């Protein structure tokens, strides 16, 4: 009752969080038939819709709207952090996979110079005789201060090496278990519900 009122939940927000649980099921590693159908219909990559809005069902449009899809950084995507395995799902720059921050947010200048935007982690890290090596490509030769930033970034991402034996997975960073919970999403101050 700290917030006043009768302790009744905001049903609009609560229903939106319940709908967002479907989005969580899409990004989880479980393989189920309904997920395969949605992936084939909407061309999903980690739950991000790739299809034209004219070809989407009302349910799918509401789901995307509730989760903030189509915005630069929707609340749902911001609440995910990746655990890199083979590097075939998680994007190097645009997904949080080392710590809780996206590399694009930490090093925006380097992102603007990168030829590897939208590439997966496994596409910019390759196995050589001595181990994993980063193969970042740039649009031009970097200035000295940009090269210093690159060295700093490489030190930062060094702890996120690939493991070819595991799959990439997404974790819900608002809950200590790493799993989506309606409670953690409902209590999230930064969550904006639009339905």
Residue that wins the pLDDT comparison between 112 and 19: 112
| Number of separate domains in the chain | 2
Question: For the segment 4-40, what is each residue's pLDDT rounded down to a tens digit?
Answer: 566 677 788 888 888 888 888 888 767 788 888 888 8
């939208």: which residue's tokens?
118
Within a domain: residue 20? yes
- The reply to whether 38 and 61 lie within a common domain is yes
Q: How many helices (H) and strands (E) would you count in the chain?
A: 9, 6
Within a domain: residue 164? yes
* Position 57 confidence tier, pLDDT thresholds 50, 70, 90: confident
Give the dihedral sign, CA 8/10/13/19: positive
* Position 190 confidence tier, pLDDT thresholds 50, 70, 90: low
- The reply to whether 62 and 104 lie within a common domain is no
pTM (two decimals): 0.74
- The reply to whether 146 and 187 lie within a common domain is no
Domain extent, residue 61, equals 9-76+178-195
- The reply to whether 143 and 184 lie within a common domain is no
Question: For the segment 116-173, what is each residue's pLDDT rounded down to a tens digit?
Answer: 999 999 899 887 777 778 899 999 999 999 999 999 999 998 866 677 788 888 888 8
Within a domain: residue 25? yes
* Position 49 confidence tier, pLDDT thresholds 50, 70, 90: low
- The reply to whether 160 and 194 lie within a common domain is no
Within a domain: residue 127? yes
- The reply to whether 49 and 64 lie within a common domain is yes
Within a domain: residue 1? no
Strand runs labelled E in the chain: 80-83, 96-98, 101-102, 125-128, 131-134, 169-172
- The reply to whether 99 and 168 lie within a common domain is yes
- The reply to whether 35 and 117 lie within a common domain is no
Within a domain: residue 46? yes
């Amino acid at each position: 009752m700290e917030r006043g009122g009768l302790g009744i939940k905001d049903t609009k927000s609560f229903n939106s969080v319940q709908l967002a649980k479907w989005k969580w099921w899409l990004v989880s590693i479980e393989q189920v038939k309904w997920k395969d159908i949605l992936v084939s219909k909407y061309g999903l990559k980690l739950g991000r819709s790739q299809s034209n809005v004219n070809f989407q069902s009302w349910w799918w449009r509401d789901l995307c709207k509730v989760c903030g899809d189509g915005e630069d950084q929707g609340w749902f995507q911001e609440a995910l952090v990746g655990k890199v395995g083979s590097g075939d799902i998680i994007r190097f720059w645009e997904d949080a996979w080392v710590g809780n921050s996206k590399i694009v947010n930490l090093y925006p200048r380097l992102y603007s110079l990168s030829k590897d935007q939208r590439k997966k982690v496994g596409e910019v890290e390759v196995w050589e005789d001595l181990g994993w090596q980063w193969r970042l490509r740039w649009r031009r030769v970097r200035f000295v201060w940009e090269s210093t930033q690159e060295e700093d970034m490489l030190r930062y991402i060094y702890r996120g090496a690939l493991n070819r034996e595991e799959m990439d997975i997404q974790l819900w960073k608002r809950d200590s278990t790493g799993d989506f919970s309606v409670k953690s999403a409902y209590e999230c101050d930064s969550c904006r519900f639009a339905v």
